[in-house]
Amino acid sequence: MLQIGLKCSLGTRKWLPKVAKIHRNLGKPKLPSPPSISFMNKLGKGPADKKEAGKAWTELPDSEKQKYRDQYRLDLAEYRKKVLDWKAHMVAERPADVVNQEEYQKLVLKESDQPKKPPSPNVMFSLDYWAKHGKAPGSVAEIVKAPVEQWKLLPEKEKQKYSDRFKTEMLEYKMKLLDWKAGMIAKGRTDLVDPEEYKQLVLEMSGQPKPPPAAHLMFYRDYAAEHKRVAGRAADLMKVASVQWKNLPEEDKQKYYNRYSDEWYAYEKRLRDWEREMTTISLEDDEDE
């Protein structure tokens, strides 16, 4: 049995044509042609007439081009549905062959309209930067470099705006995710949604208080906040903070232990209040029924 995955490294790209041929022989749907190629096919132009056909496409009025683009979108949507069905069949019939199950799972999630997580504040800034200034020509690294450098120079007040925007969008995302997970579970799609993860999300969205971090984690956070401007990667910073914690005098450690105790006491109080609130809501729901 042929063992063919969907992923390939740079060294195995030469096998892609062979993989594509095997997929076609197994009935994989064919990707629709882009608008310009569809136009070329309609003209009856082959590869030899590519330059002439390209010129004709360029000179085509936008209203005519739009017809090809609209048709392409329809064809692409239909193609995705067919590919999903084909992959489902392949996974069922040949679980270790032809179709990578992880890739199939991702495709199923995408087609199920799973909400997308919002980008982080710095990525939001990069997207805004590119929308305003465009992407400079060059490699991917060069394109990414400009907004990254600008983000570093951005005043904290401006960064906070992106952080606030991220929090708002993250809340909206979690609400949508909650509805989506509930819908998937209702449909019996526990292969896509873990009921336990759904339960945890429900508790989080209901305002269930979170316990405070341990004393050493409190120290790590304080250390990171103080040294983030001069440090490198977050992982490296945590390693340094770990060493600093071990070498911290006991009296200084005790301050963090005391702080943890205070926050734990406050957490337990919030938790009791939350539990009472949840009980009240539950009783009110029972009365309404």
Structure tokens, 123: 């990525």
Residue 271, amino acid: L
Amino acid letter, 217: L
Minimal CA–CA distance to 23: which of 109, 89, 102, 77?
89
Which is nearest to 84 in space by CA: 113, 105, 115?
105
Residue 40 makes CB contacts below 8 A (sequence gap 6+) with 49, 50, 53, 57
What the block records as the tokens of 255 is 């301050």
Q: What is the pLDDT of residue 93?
A: 59
Alpha helices in the chain (DSSP H): 16-25, 35-43, 50-59, 62-93, 101-111, 121-133, 140-153, 156-186, 195-205, 215-227, 234-246, 250-288
CB 241 within 8 A of CB 219: yes
pLDDT at 276: 85
98: left (phi over 0), alpha (psi -120 to 50) or beta: left
Digitized pLDDT (tens) for each residue of the chain, 289 residues in all: 333 333 343 343 443 444 455 455 556 788 888 888 888 888 775 555 677 777 888 888 888 888 888 888 888 888 888 877 776 666 555 545 555 666 666 666 666 678 888 999 999 999 998 888 777 666 677 788 888 889 989 999 999 999 999 999 998 988 888 888 888 888 787 777 788 887 888 877 778 888 999 999 999 988 888 876 554 567 778 888 889 999 999 999 999 999 999 999 999 998 888 888 877 766 555 555 5
One-letter amino acid identity for 161?
K
Burial classification of residue 250, based on how many CB atoms lie within 10 Å of its CB (0-12 exposed, 13-18 middle, 19 or more buried):
exposed
Task: Please give the pLDDT value at position 13.
Answer: 40
Predicted confidence at residue 11, as pLDDT, reads 40
User: What are the CA-CA distances from residue 134 to residues 144, 162, 278, 283 (Å)?
Assistant: 11, 20, 50, 56
Q: What is the DSSP letter of 232?
A: -
The pTM is what? Answer: 0.49
Task: Report CA-CA distances (Å) from 186 to 85, 116, 181, 265.
Answer: 21, 20, 8, 39
